[in-house]
Structure 1
């Protein structure tokens, strides 16, 4: 049976598939604390999730000496590496992905993580071979630039008009819009619902279960 709307489903990682938002916020705050910088509030730290790591540090602390950013990145990685083995997938993610694979969709990841970080995370949860392609922020332009989706569709020979990007931040949804792809929001990650709604996603899911149900019927 032909699929209804999409052939390629692209997922963000942190805050969409992996329950990591609060850990990332704490690691950003820890990096700032280590360097004697002002500690960003939770809302400010969570807003930059999804950007490339260097871009995230610039966004969360825009008024410091640019020479500080590489040190912020180093301290962030130090904190994150001590925590990432504790991170888990959101409930229902594994079952949702398995069903989508069985249904014959192309699956991909577009993430602000580094290549090393994504591979480590995929390997830790046993999903390394599940995705047809992945793209990371240290390999191309950071979200919301459309490059990740452009490169993924080219690599997999897919049509952007039959591609959907699923993410928990406005960065994900704006990337989809900039690329000419559809965007689906998930409300359980980094950005508040009002901010996601402002990007006019095709659908907004309050849980993985809701997302799975919508994809089963509509994708």
Structure 2
């Protein structure tokens, strides 16, 4: 077994571990339609995944006035919760996480979800206890601000060069750059491989199997 290069691995949730990209994008589109805004395209709705909810909705629906943001957020939650029971982990995620724990890595989540949303997702995926820590967008700064990762590093006493961020959006990878940390992109989520490459990740995985193989040899 090779020596660990990273003590702490931080995962994004939606589109990285949880196969929720399509459900989130569709929920955004339906919510915008409900409040009378111009419905974003699939690409526009997918782009904002990973951001905190209100900034994401504002970016996806720039013609919706601010006084309707609460209604917009409530309609998004309504549509997402209707689909949540059908969303699952990507195939291969569970053995990937178990293998990393066996190697002694600390595992954390850094997500644009709310704390309530993450807790519900962890319970749904039966992953409570899998992660050593987590940060959500409603309890710290949203991506790509580096505060999520800075707080996790402080909590576990890990230096930036010993943390690896894994995510499916440029928001995730830019957060890692802003925190002085390395990153790996996954191209099976919200953003295309070419966009992820623009953030200079160490690697871009096309599927979970590729991610597991790379981590086994390089993390």
Q: Normalised by the size of structure 2, how large is the TM-score?
A: 0.98
Post-superposition CA distance 1:74-94 (Å, at most 9, x none)? 100011111111100000000
Q: Which runs of 5+ in 2 are unaligned?
A: none
Q: Does 1:214 align with 2:214?
A: yes
Question: 2:66 matched to which residue of 1?
Answer: 66
**More displaced stretch, 137-146 vs 55-64:** 55-64
Question: 1:10 matched to which residue of 2?
Answer: 10
What secondary structure is seen at the aligned counterpart in 1 of 2:153? helix
Post-superposition CA distance 1:39-75 (Å, at most 9, x none)? 1000000000000001101111123311111111110
Q: 1:112: how far off?
A: 0.4
Q: 1:12: how far off?
A: 0.2
Q: Does 1:179 align with 2:179?
A: yes
Q: Which runs of 5+ in 1 are unaligned?
A: none
Question: 1:122 matched to which residue of 2?
Answer: 122
Give the length in aligned residue pairs. 219
Distance 1:64 1:124 in 2: 32
Q: 1:2: how far off?
A: 7.0
Q: Normalised by the size of structure 1, how large is the TM-score?
A: 0.98
Distance 2:76 2:63 in 1: 18
Distance 2:33 2:218 in 1: 46
Question: 1:201 matched to which residue of 2?
Answer: 201
Distance 1:36 1:65 in 2: 10
Within-5 A mapping of 1:55-204: 55-204=55-204
TM-align CA RMSD? 1.0
Distance 2:3 2:24 in 1: 36
Q: 1:193: how far off?
A: 1.4
